[in-house]
Amino acid sequence: MSGKTIWRRALDLDHRIIATGIFLIITYMILSPIEIPFPVSSYGQQYYDFVTEVPAGTTVGFMMGDTVATKPQLKPSTTITMWMLYEKNCKIVYWYDKVEAVGLMNEYIAVVDEMSSRELVYGVDYIDLGFIAGTETGAVAFLENIRGVTGGVDVNGDPIDSFPIMEGVNGGGDFAYGIANCGCECTEPMYIRQWGMPYGTELATINCAMDLPAITLYLATGQLRATANGLLGSAEFEYLTGRLGLAFGQILAVSFAGLYFVILVVLGNVFYFIDRSQGGN
């Protein structure tokens, strides 16, 4: 049998046409949004409840492992978490396990400074301890002895003992609550193993949706208290705090992109099986 069936020709559709389709859908939905109902999932509610539960004035450990690639989906939940904690006069000790977070830190602080009802003072409300190399080994060493690993200085080279926020803080056990923004590297189990479990810190994570199956185990056992799960988690957090922004806007475009993907999978399979039934390979 010579020649391709119409179904085979449809299956061999140039990938650029498929990619153009998703581009058009996302662009249109961003430029011309429509109203859709927005139910909040249990993960989003759980994360909101966790941040609300943190007592006022607590010193919180915040591992900022965000990257430029995950910034669009995780920045909203990160900055709103930071804002909520500052509004309760909590103090935040930052460090990061990814090199890119160095550049993002300043941007996030500036955003939260604008959102905050008061001026944030470095060394009193927050401190930046810089990049800790070595992923798991580095995290273990850092959480054992912060001053040992940082050399007793912050990211600017100033002695951390000169800042009031670091009084009595030298290890993972000195944080009753901790938040780990793990980006998309799936380092959540690592922080549960090396921070939450050994030191008893109540831990929540901000992570890509892709990591959810891997961390559902820990949510089920209570080893992880909550997760802000990707773009949906950011959108839900914006919705629950009344600070609708970029994540909420993006979720509509992503929803329609998801619909397009489902249609592609279904159509691809329909064409494939029809082509096969007509003698194609």
Residue placing its CB nearer to another protein in the complex, 90 or 254: 254
Binding segment toward another protein, per CB under 8 A, in 32-40, 55-63, 77-85, 162-170: 32-40
Can you tell me the distance from the alpha carbon of 87 to that of 188, in angstroms, rounded to the nearest whole number? 26
- Which one of residues 4, 27, 28, 72 is an interface residue with another protein (CB under 8 A)? 72
* Residue 89 vs 269, nearer CB to another protein: 269
Stretch of 49-57, 117-125, 162-170, 256-264 lying at the interface with another protein (CB under 8 A): 256-264
Nearest-Å Rg of the Cα atoms of the chain is 23
Residue closer to another protein (CB basis): 245 or 268: 268
Amino acid at 180: A
30: contact with another protein by CB under 8 A: no
Which of the stretches 55-63, 88-96, 103-111, 160-168 binds another protein when contact is defined by CB under 8 A? Answer: 103-111
User: In the 8-state DSSP scheme, what is residue 201?
Assistant: -
- Cα(125)–Cα(111) distance, rounded to whole angstroms? 15
Residue 264 in contact with residue 18, Cβ under 8 Å? Answer: yes
Distance in Å, CB of 162 to another protein, minimum = 19
Q: Percentage helix, strand, coil, to 5, in the chain?
A: 55, 15, 30
Residues 202 and 164: beta-carbon distance below 8 Å: no
Cβ closest to another protein, residue 29 vs residue 80: 29
Look up residue 275 and give its amino acid.
D
Report DSSP state, residue 41: P
DSSP state of 68: T
Least Å from the CB of residue 85 to another protein: 23
Site for another protein in 109-168 (CB under 8 A): 132-138, 140-142, 144-145, 148-149, 155-156
Non-local CB neighbours of 213 within 8 Å, separated by 6+ positions: none
Count of residues binding another protein (CB under 8 A)?
Answer: 81
Work out whether 232 is an interface residue with another protein (CB under 8 A): yes
Closest to another protein by CB, 269 or 278: 269
CB of 67 to another protein, least distance (A): 7
List beta partners, residue 181. Answer: 64, 206
CA distance 201 to 193: 11
Select 99 or 124, whichever has its Cβ closest to another protein: 99
CA distances from 206 to 18, 120, 228, 274 (A): 31, 23, 5, 44
| Span from 1-9, 82-90, 119-127, 206-214 in contact with another protein (CB under 8 A) | 206-214
Given the rule CB under 8 A, which of 45-53, 117-125, 159-167, 227-235 is the region that contacts another protein? 227-235
Main-chain phi, psi angles of 158, to 5 degrees: -85, 145
Closer to another protein by CB, 37 or 55: give it.
37
Please tell me whether residue 267 binds another protein under the rule CB under 8 A.
yes
